[in-house]
Structure 1
Amino acid sequence: MALARNRRSAGGSAEYWPGFVDALSTLLLAIMFLLSVFVLAQFILSREISGQDEALDRLNGQIAELTQLLALERSNAQDSEDEIASLRASLGQLEDERSRLQSALDSGSGSAAAANATISALQDNLEEEESISQRARSQVELLNQQLSALRQQIGALESALEASEERDQESQTKIADLGRRLNVALAQRVQELNRYRSDFFGRLREILADRENIRIVGDRFVFQSEVLFPSGSADLQTAGTDELDQMASAIRDLAREIPSDINWIVRVDGHTDNVPLSGTGQFDDNWELSVARASSVVKYLISQGVQAEHLAATGFGEFQPIEEGSTPEVRRRNRRIEFKLTER
């Protein structure tokens, strides 16, 4: 690492740009991951709140129905009480009539037989009214019991509503805590991967710094295609395998140092110039050629002991040039194989 810093110091201000691009790329990856976590948390929270709202709507509907039933029962109870009051008034009138007749009988006015018959009739009416009054009292008692049961149900529903609100609050708290923990874990993983990426590129700089056809562009190592492949071919040549042996050794050393819980890959990207293929060769277009060259490099690295799960091959054809233009030098620089350490 010290040697790498000395070389950067010797290189002057040109070494600042790769580090700046590296930092921007790392920041962009972290922001994208944070946005993904935030969207996921928002989605989970929305589903949880939606479920709570549906439960609350059902409870409100039940409370409204119970309130209507309670109002109806109260109306029936009031009617029964009015009927009892009317019966009691009638009973009072009958008692008054009985007293009047009894007084008349005692004073000797009227016929005793007629008076007794009237009294007997009045007693029958009184017993009937008392029976009606008893039934009314029974109905009032039943209504009071039903009213008490309705009040208990309303109390239970209110308790259930409070418990639901508490669970909703707990869910929101858990989601917020999960987001904080994910942010911390993400920051730790980014820091760890950045440290290993810095070590990896530092070693490769020391090994490959004096190679004319190998360059560092941002956070990538760039091999010119002429070093690895003959023109229009995806078959590795001897000079290219010598360079890739050193790359394979560096990747194997990196794999032993990075913890197993960090998902990482070395992405191998194939690029071509903008000259169309003739169509008479092995490949129909630059897409196929770039993919085939990236795959050849990956397969060779695997043959040298690099684990396949830490490698990926991609092809971009001529559509991701380093420089725009059609001069021979620009086309030569655009024909390349890039290596980039990133998260899987």
Structure 2
Amino acid sequence: MVTLLLTFFILIVAMSTPDKKKIEQALKSIQGALGTAGVTAEMAMMSEKKSEASFQNLGSQVKNLVLEGNLQDVVDVKITERGIVLNMTGGVLFRAGSAGVERGFMPFLLELAQMLKKLPYKVLVEGHTDDSPPPPQGSYPSNWELSAARAAAIVRVLTREGGVEPERFSATGYGEFRPLFAPTPQNRPKNRRVEVIISREGFSG
């Protein structure tokens, strides 16, 4: 828009005078402005392509990490409009009614943290439960608290132990209210999950 206004202004100036030299100078100014705009647009497109390639490469690395850990049955990785989405089955991550991360899952999370440290993307962590209420004798009065505590537990591992900047994270608990499947006994284990979304939005802090 600025370039168009500049071009229009230069043309008006050129047309208002019969001076040949001024007209030539005006034309050169237009060419220079348009050339700069073209270079800027090309650079922006190259930067966008490079950023997308970097994001896709990270997605491939995460998928390979899952395969190397033989976790493909409990960690599903998809690249969506939201970003790289890791759907981690809650039954493997946590014991029933607990928000303590199982030690056997720690190596995967720490390797994931090393990948995240190299790139600037924001990370959203979302906890989900099934529709069964927490144990009455447990620490959480409802699935809201339990799902939020589980999301926060994953953030703690990735930041405190993994060393990723905490400012890049958000943690949210959705309780049982965003199931992937109908709440049947067969589907409840699939609805118990934590999703880690590596957002396409870069961290600007």
Distance 1:188 1:241, change over 3 A: same
Asked whether the equivalents of residues 223 and 338 of structure 1 are also in contact (C-alpha less than 8 Å), the reply is yes
| Aligned partner (choices 205, 223, 232) of residue 97 of structure 2 | 232
Change (3 A) 1:187 1:230: farther
Change (3 A) 1:193 1:281: farther
Structure number with higher helix proportion: 1
Q: 2:75 aligns with which of 214, 224, 243?
A: 214
Structure-2 change in CA distance of 1:326 and 1:246 (3 Å): same
- Among 141, 144, 168, the residue aligned to 1:287: 144
The 2-side partners of 1:240 and 1:281 are apart by: 23
Residue 95 of structure 2 aligns to a residue whose secondary structure is: coil
| Greater relative contact order (Cα < 8 A, sep 6+) | 2
Distance 1:295 1:186, change over 3 A: farther
Q: Deviations over 1:36-59 (max 9, x none)?
A: xxxxxxxxxxxxxxxxxxxxxxxx
Structure 1: gaps spanning 5 or more residues: 1-183, 256-263
Instruction: Tell me, yes or no, if the aligned pair for 1:266 and 1:339 is still in contact at 8 Å.
Output: yes
User: Equivalent residue for 1:123?
Assistant: none
Q: Which amino acid aligns with 2:74?
A: N
Residue in 1 that maps onto 2:117: 252
In the TM superposition, residue 278 of structure 1 has moved relative to its aligned partner by 3.8
| Structure number with bigger Rg | 1
2:134 corresponds in structure 1 to 277
Is the contact between residue 229 and residue 240 of structure 1 (CA under 8 Å) also seen in structure 2?
A: no
The residue that corresponds to 1:78 in the other structure is none
1:314 matches 2:169: no
Report deviation, 1:277.
2.2
Distance 1:193 1:324, change over 3 A: farther
Once residues 128 and 148 of structure 2 are traced to their aligned partners in structure 1, the CA distance between those partners, rounded to angstroms, is 8
User: TM-score, structure 2 length as denominator?
Assistant: 0.66
Q: With structure 1 as the length reference, what TM-score do the two structures score?
A: 0.41
Aligned residue pairs: how many?
153
> Are the counterparts in 2 of residues 215 and 221 from structure 1 also a CA contact under 8 Å?
yes
Q: CA deviation at 1:327?
A: 2.2
Aligned mates of 1:338, 1:319 — CA distance in 2: 14
Kindly indicate whether the alpha-carbon contact (under 8 Å) linking 1:268 and 1:294 is maintained by their aligned counterparts in 2: yes
- Give the equivalent residue in structure 2 for 1:331: 188
Counterpart secondary structure, 2:104: helix
**C-alpha distance after superposition, 1:13-57 (max 9, x if no partner):** xxxxxxxxxxxxxxxxxxxxxxxxxxxxxxxxxxxxxxxxxxxxx
Instruction: Tell me the residue number matched to 1:241.
Output: 106
1:341 aligns with 2:176: no
* CA distance in structure 2 between the aligned counterparts of 1:322 and 1:190, rounded to whole angstroms: 33
Instruction: Report deviation, 1:194.
Output: 3.2
Distance 1:275 1:248 in 2: 31
Query: 2:181 and 2:134 mapped to 1: Cα distance?
Result: 20
- Secondary structure in structure 1 of the residue aligned to 2:118: helix
Distance 1:331 1:320 in 2: 12
Deviations 1:189-237 (A, max 9, x none): 8655533321211101111123121112453111111222111101112
1:312 is displaced (CA, Å) by 1.5
| Matched letter for residue 100 of structure 2 | D
**Cα distance in 2 for residues equivalent to 1:250 and 1:339:** 13
Q: Which AA in structure 1 matches 2:60?
A: G
3-state SS of paired residue (2:195): strand
Contact 1:274-1:326 within 8 A present in 2 as well? no
Report the Cα distance in structure 2 between the residues aligned to 1:203 and 1:326, rounded to whole angstroms.
34
**Contact 2:130–2:183 (8 Å) recurs in 1:** no
Superposition map of 1:1-344 within 5 A: 191=49, 193-209=51-67, 210-211=70-71, 212-219=73-80, 220-255=85-120, 264-303=121-160, 304-328=162-186, 330-342=187-199, 343=201
> For the Cα contact (< 8 Å) 1:271–1:336, is it kept in 2?
yes
2:65 partner amino acid: I
